[in-house]
Amino acid sequence: MELTLFNQAPEWLAALVLAALCAGYLDAIAGGGGIIQVPVLLLSGMAPVNVLATNKAVALVGTASAALRYALDGKIVWRIVRVAAVPCVLAAFLGSRLAILTPDWILELCILVCLIVALLVALLVKVRGSERASPPPSAARIIAGLAPVGLYDGFSGPGTGVFLLLVKHARLKLELLAATATSKPINLLTNIGGVAAFIWAGKVVWIVALPMILANALGGWLGSRAAISKGAPFIRGMLLVMLVALMGMTLWKAGHEFL
């Protein structure tokens, strides 16, 4: 693959590194780092399948950094992770295989549609305060809620963290900080499933991914630390920021492509 824009304008790499840092920070708090990274990668001139593959490789390390920080602070509900792990990885792997077989123009349209759906879901689901319901959710409810998100993450990805946060908070009834923290190891697992398929097919652009990985990991560590120290009100505020960014990027992309 020829990256013409990178050859002609190396400042694109600096822009992508900055986008990865911001994406890692926001993704660790409210999810949706792909909302920032995917549009910027598309604008760089990569083919959509390379964009998805590179974004997922970058997000893998950034999510791992955030998950480690939450785990060290004891914020992750590990029962949900154990139940959802295998179904989510398999679903993400299947989603990535489907993405590889999908023509570029359909894949780019799917990215746009998924961004719009992520916005609508997040706007329609009420984000509550810090209550936590009991009894804990059943294994069937956990899998039914999270496996489809894994499939979506493998196929497209932008907004996955927002979906995971909202499913855990609204359907599985986790407190907001616990929902955010528990989303990270599951998102990490779905990224592993997706990245494995993309690496196998040789779709990751490593010359771009490697510097972005370092920036995203730093952002993930700093973002999770901020969420732990500032709590639910801060997470709700960052979720609003991600929704505004999602709306702006979606509208801009729609205008750029179809007007």
Q: Give pLDDT tens digits for 211-232.
A: 999 999 999 999 999 888 887 6
Rounded to whole angstroms, how far apart are CA atoms 118 and 159?
6
Q: State pLDDT tens for residues 164-195.
A: 777 776 677 777 788 888 888 988 887 787 78
Rounded to whole angstroms, how far apart are CA atoms 112 and 250?
7
Contacts of 202 (CB under 8 A, 6+ apart): none
Torsion on CA atoms 167, 139, 60, 250, rounded to nearest 10: -20
The pTM for the full model equals: 0.74
Residue 54 has pLDDT above 50, yes or no: yes
Give the start-to-end residue ranges of the domains of the chain.
10-254
Q: Tell which residue, 91, 90, 83, has the closest CA to residue 182.
A: 83
Q: Exposed (0-12), middle (13-18) or buried (19+): which is 120, by Cβ within 10 Å?
A: exposed
Which amino acid, residue 180?
T
What phi and psi values does residue 95 have, to the nearest 5 degrees?
A: -60, -40
pLDDT at 1: 45
What phi and psi values does residue 102 have, to the nearest 5 degrees?
A: -90, 135
**CB 34 within 8 Å of CB 23:** yes
Contacts of 101 (CB under 8 A, 6+ apart): none
pLDDT at 106: 79
**CB 92 within 8 Å of CB 194:** yes
Rounded to whole angstroms, how far apart are CA atoms 56 and 96?
10
